[in-house]
Amino acid sequence: MSQEFDLPHLNERFETETAAQIIAWAVQTFRPKVAMSCSFQTQSLPLLHIISQVAPDLPVMFVDTSYHFPETLVFRDQLVREWGLNLQIVRAAPPRGAAVQPPEPDLYRRNPDLCCFINKVEPMQQTTAGLRAWISGIRRDQSPTRAKSHILEQTSAGLLRVHPMANWTRQDVWQYIHDHSLPEHPLLSQGYLSIGCAPCTQPIFTGQDERAGRWAGQAKTECGLHTVLRGGMVDAPKETVDVENE
């Protein structure tokens, strides 16, 4: 990838271009080996909406952990239907995925990193292995772990991470939603500004970091999709063997 593109130059250029222009470049450059990932929460709406206008046939990957809020799944299906999105469901393959079901129903509490690896990181790692570019909606102002994100980032495995909204602010997101009259996730009005799996997500208070409700009370702040996988292929956290053999 670095032999084909001058990433520092492209990153400088894309800082002043629109998300639509960045997406169009990625799709034109890497199709058919390019896809977008989305959690179908309110913060995802601008990028999803732009995709529906610029590249409606682009695969939209949704990691189904089996722990999502029912409202998230209903909202996902609504947007897929109304916007004509090309939804691609990503799931953990048995028997590894079965490790977080009984007899380990509390794995998300006992070892949330392993739970995220089994249900999110590993399935996405396998899915993106055949891609050249992966588009996602992370922003620098979302959390300290994302503050230094570039619009384009190359992993050691050769995958190009594309972040068209990296330089957007929270206000930019809400302005876009307002300007285009986009719907809201059903749980937004209850204080869920960032939504992941139901057991690991709670509402936040005014003024808190928008991801403060994720894994609240724990040192964990990311599932690993946008941190661990930046380096390319990764191995499972500790206890994987123990869980699989139980």
Query: 38, 116, 197, 223: which is the annotated catalytic residue?
Result: 223
C-beta of residue 162 within 8 angstroms of C-beta of residue 135: yes
Which domains, and CATH codes, for the chain? Answer: 7-233 (3.40.50.620)
Tokens representing residue 239 in the block: 């206890």
- CA neighbor of 44 nearest in space, from 119, 114, 142: 142
Distance between CA 207 and CA 152 in Å, rounded? 29
One digit per residue, pLDDT tens: the chain, 246 residues?
Answer: 444 689 999 999 999 999 999 999 999 999 999 999 999 988 889 999 999 999 999 999 999 988 899 999 999 999 999 999 999 999 987 655 555 554 456 776 777 788 888 888 888 888 999 999 999 998 998 777 778 899 999 988 889 999 999 999 999 999 999 999 999 999 888 878 778 888 888 776 666 566 565 655 565 655 556 555 454 444 555 554 343 433
Tokens representing residue 186 in the block: 């059903």
**38 an active-site residue?**
no
- Angle subtended by helix axes 45-54 and 170-179, to nearest 10: 50
- CA neighbor of 197 nearest in space, from 209, 215, 185: 215
Give the other-Cβ count within 10 Å of 141's Cβ.
Answer: 16
Distance between CA 109 and CA 112 in Å, rounded? 6
